[in-house]
Structure 1
Amino acid sequence: MIVLLDTSTPVCKVSFVDSDWRVDDQWEAGRTLAKGLLGYLQASLKENGKTWADISGIVAFKGPGSFTGLRIGLTVLNTFADSEKVSIVGTTGDRWQKDGLERLARGDNDKLVMPEYGVEVHITAPRK
Structure 2
Amino acid sequence: MKKVILIADDSPTIRKFVSFSLTMHGFEVVSACDGMEAMEKLPAHKVDLVITDLNMPNMDGFELIKAIRGNEDYKDIPIIILSSLSGSEDVERGMSYGASSYLVKPFDPKRIHYEVSKYLN
Q: TM-score range by the shorter chain?
A: 0.3 to 0.5
Larger radius of gyration: 1
TM-score normalised to structure 2 length: 0.42
Give the number of the structure whose residues are more often helix, by fraction.
Answer: 2
- TM, length-normalised to structure 1: 0.41
